[in-house]
Amino acid sequence: MTKDSNGQTKMLAPKERDPHRSLIREGRIVRYDRELTTTRADTSDRLSHGKEGYCAFTINADGNIYLFNHKDKTDKVAHSTMTEGGLVLGAGEMKIKNGQIEIITCYSDHYRPSVKNIYETLKHLAEKNVDISQIKVAFLDEPKKLENLTKQTIELPDKVVSSSGEPCHIGDVLSDVSQQDRQTHLGLRYAYNAQDIVNHMDLLSKQQTIKDN
């Protein structure tokens, strides 16, 4: 294990990442254990940026998926920890139940994934037989590229961690929360069906190809 040049973030070597690695089997996310890969991933006991039931994730350029708790770097673990700061196919947060991805968020302060990054992530999952029609994708800000799609709502976690570091019920903090906390922990304001995103971006790509020709 190493740290970045500022000593603020752990950088795990490939073998050190194995406990966080997951695979896709029969359209479900399963834990990687070198031999049996049948234990379905579940984030019920995970935490990411104060949201209970969520984990942070990265998918590296080789398609390897890493799931981990993100405690706002209090333990020096961040998205770049799993990639040594290298290129990724996707990054953000996931909510997973019994191996089924329910929600993906685009929150990663290091990688700051764009709509195109999310699109590539969803395409990768679909190619691995994940039913992306069952996934909601949440953005902190309304993406202009998706302005014609129907926005959805998602269920917020029961608790968040406020700027003081204490767990609070959602109802107790909605009216008294800093803008930073709202964006980081409650910022899942714009949610879309993942299949709708892929269909929409596929169409935009075809239209651009026709225009270029």
Domain parsing of the chain, residue ranges? 2-212
Question: Distance between CA atoms of 32 and 86, rounded to whole angstroms?
Answer: 21
Query: What are the CB-based long-range contacts (under 8 Å, 24+) for 131-134?
Result: 131/27, 131/100, 132/194, 132/195, 132/198, 133/193, 133/194, 133/195, 134/100, 134/101, 134/102
Q: Which of 51, 41, 44 is nearest to 20 (CA)?
A: 41
Mention every residue, 6+ apart, whose C-beta is less than 8 A from residue 197: 115, 118, 119, 122, 137, 146, 149
pLDDT score at 154: 65
Query: Which of helix, strand or coil describes residue 130?
Result: coil
pLDDT score at 205: 82
Model pTM? 0.78
Question: Distance between CA atoms of 1 and 193, rounded to whole angstroms?
Answer: 38
Full pLDDT tens readout for the chain, 213 residues: 444 445 577 777 778 878 888 899 999 999 887 666 678 999 999 988 778 889 999 998 888 899 988 876 666 666 667 676 677 888 899 999 999 999 998 887 777 888 888 999 999 999 999 999 999 998 866 777 888 888 876 665 555 554 455 555 544 544 444 444 544 444 456 788 999 999 999 888 887 766 665
pLDDT score at 121: 94
pLDDT score at 143: 77
Strands (E), the chain: 2-3, 10-11, 21-25, 28-31, 47-48, 51-52, 55-60, 65-68, 88-97, 100-105, 136-139, 159-161, 167-169, 190-193
pLDDT score at 186: 46
pLDDT score at 3: 43
pLDDT score at 18: 82
pLDDT score at 131: 97
Question: Distance between CA atoms of 213 and 206, rounded to whole angstroms?
Answer: 11
pLDDT score at 102: 94
pLDDT score at 75: 61
